[in-house]
């Protein structure tokens, strides 16, 4: 079975409650010391126009007695992540470690570190501690920050697995999302992710299914849980479960009937992902051809387009499994049927 790019398809169905802050690197002017002082007090938005010469003064402002000034300085420094990280990151980490600091400010730092700097040796230990923070918003942001942990991914993996059992649902969801993206062998997380498919929170269940969307035979143990998730109450969970079944690339027959049922789901995304998943079953063409052909009548172009692609995939892969004359004859018949159907306007 050939592999397919899943990123765009997966992200269109994943619901996340945590916003992603991206560095805009759009500084347009060198601000004077007096201007920066004024901006910190009264015009925080103007700080984003100041170039990197403002960094020393912004770092100094982190020690201000004014919570508003400290918060404005943090927001501006977060925007500068990627520039002079050797001084910006340690300064932000110091504030993140301060339990007495405003929660929103600390959450902003954790979010900001997720954009570029998590690999910094100084950031990882503090973010690991932040996963244990008493404030759920800080824990959530720290978990999500680790999705870009780069070469440190192996070091943070156990903490993320543990975070899947956090008492806060958003933290659990962020941990699952991070496990989906980190560059590490995440097989040790499979049991916890399978358990998360039954989480009481729908976003956690959806994020867990997303994280299980790996082209890896080790993930076949997740298929029973994913098949069960095809009947979830929430559409985004059903859709991500279908995507994961296709991604794992194991033709488990127990998924066929539930996926066929989803071709008539009331949600367009679910119908489309079900059609996508059924494109996996080229060795069971007789079971999936009729339902897919019927789905070509769907009212939504998005669904019809995915059905067409899956039928094309099945046709392309038919001959790969032929070793006898009988199998070859069947393959010819299947391909001929698909060609005829797709050629019919």
> Which tokens in the block code for residue 126?
């503090």
CB atoms inside a 10 Å sphere around CB 265: 19
pLDDT band at 153; cut points 50, 70, 90 = confident
- Is 90 exceeded by the pLDDT of residue 304? yes
310 burial via Cβ count (<10 Å: 0-12, 13-18, 19+): buried
Listed range (185-189, 201-205, 306-310) with the worst mean pLDDT? 185-189
Alpha carbons within 13 angstroms on the beta-carbon side of residue 102 total 16
Residue 323 confidence (pLDDT): 63
As a whole number of angstroms, the distance between CA 102 and CA 125 comes to 20
% of the chain with per-residue pLDDT over 90: 51
For residue 217, what pLDDT is reported? Answer: 84
The rounded distance, in Å, linking the Cα atoms of 17 and 81 is: 23
Query: What value does the mean pLDDT take over residues 275-303?
Result: 91
For the ranges 102-106, 188-192, 310-314, the one whose mean pLDDT is highest: 188-192
CA angle 294, 277, 206 (to 5 degrees): 120
Mean pLDDT on 95-115: 83
Q: Which residue has the tokens 């046709």?
A: 315
| Max avg pLDDT among 75-79, 185-189, 306-310 | 306-310
Those residues whose C-beta lies under 8 Å from the C-beta of residue 285, and which sit 6 or more positions away, are: 314, 318, 330, 334
Tokens of 130: 């932040």
Please name the fold of domain 30-141.
1.25.10
CA atoms within 13 A on the CB side of 170: 12
Question: What CA–CA distance (Å, rounded) separates 54 from 65?
Answer: 19
- In the DSSP assignment, the letter for residue 66 is -
Structure tokens at 239: 């859709």
Instruction: State the Cα–Cα distance between residues 239 and 86, nearest whole angstrom.
Output: 42
pLDDT (tens digit per residue) in 76-90: 988 877 777 778 888
Say how many C-beta atoms besides its own lie within 10 A of residue 25's C-beta.
11
pLDDT for position 315: 83
Give the span between the Cα atoms of 180 and 174, in whole angstroms: 10
* pLDDT on residue 154: 85
For residues 118 and 124, give the distance between their C-alpha atoms in angstroms, rounded to a whole number: 6
3-class SS of residue 186: coil
Structure tokens at 110: 């954790």
According to DSSP, residue 41 is labeled H
β-partners of residue 50 are 29
pLDDT at 258 over 50: yes
Neighbours of 154 (CB within 10 A): 13
Structure tokens at 73: 């300085």
What is the tally of helices (H) and strands (E) in the chain? 19, 0
The span from the CA of 37 to the CA of 262, in Å, is 59
**pLDDT at 24 (0 to 100):** 46
Q: Identify the band that residue 214 occupies on the pLDDT scale cut at 50, 70 and 90.
A: confident
| Residue boundaries of the structural domains of the chain | 30-141
User: pLDDT higher for 172 or 27?
Assistant: 172
């Amino acid at each position: 079975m050939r592999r397919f790019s899943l990123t765009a398809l997966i992200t269109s169905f994943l619901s996340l409650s945590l916003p992603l802050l991206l560095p805009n690197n759009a500084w347009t002017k060198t601000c004077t010391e007096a201007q920066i002082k004024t901006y910190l007090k009264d015009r925080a938005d103007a700080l984003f126009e100041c170039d990197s010469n403002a960094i020393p003064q912004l770092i100094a402002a982190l020690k201000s007695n004014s919570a508003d000034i400290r918060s404005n300085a943090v927001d501006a420094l977060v925007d500068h992540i990627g520039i002079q990280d050797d001084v910006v990151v340690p300064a932000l980490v110091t504030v993140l470690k301060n339990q007495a600091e405003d929660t929103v400010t600390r959450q902003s730092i954790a979010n900001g570190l997720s954009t570029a700097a998590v690999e910094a040796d100084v950031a990882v230990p503090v973010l690991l501690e932040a996963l244990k923070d008493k404030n759920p918003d800080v824990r959530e942001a720290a978990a999500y920050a680790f999705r870009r942990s780069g070469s440190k991914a192996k070091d943070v993996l156990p903490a993320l697995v543990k975070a899947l059992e956090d008492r806060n649902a958003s933290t659990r969801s962020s941990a699952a999302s991070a496990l989906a993206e980190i560059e590490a062998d995440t097989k040790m997380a499979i049991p916890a992710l399978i358990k998360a498919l039954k989480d009481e929170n729908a976003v956690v269940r959806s994020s867990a299914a997303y994280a299980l969307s790996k082209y890896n035979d080790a993930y076949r143990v997740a298929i029973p849980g994913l098949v069960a998730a095809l009947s979830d109450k929430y559409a985004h969970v059903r859709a991500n479960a279908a995507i994961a079944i296709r991604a794992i690339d194991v033709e488990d027959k127990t998924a066929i009937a539930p996926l066929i049922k989803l071709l008539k789901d009331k949600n367009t995304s679910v119908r489309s992902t079900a059609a996508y998943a059924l494109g996996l079953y080229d060795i069971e063409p007789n079971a999936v051809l009729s339902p897919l052909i019927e789905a070509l009548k769907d009212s939504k172009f998005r669904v019809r387009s995915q059905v067409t692609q899956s039928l094309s995939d099945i046709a392309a892969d038919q001959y790969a499994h032929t070793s006898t004359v009988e199998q070859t004859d069947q393959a010819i018949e299947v391909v001929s049927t698909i060609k005829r159907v797709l050629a019919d306007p």
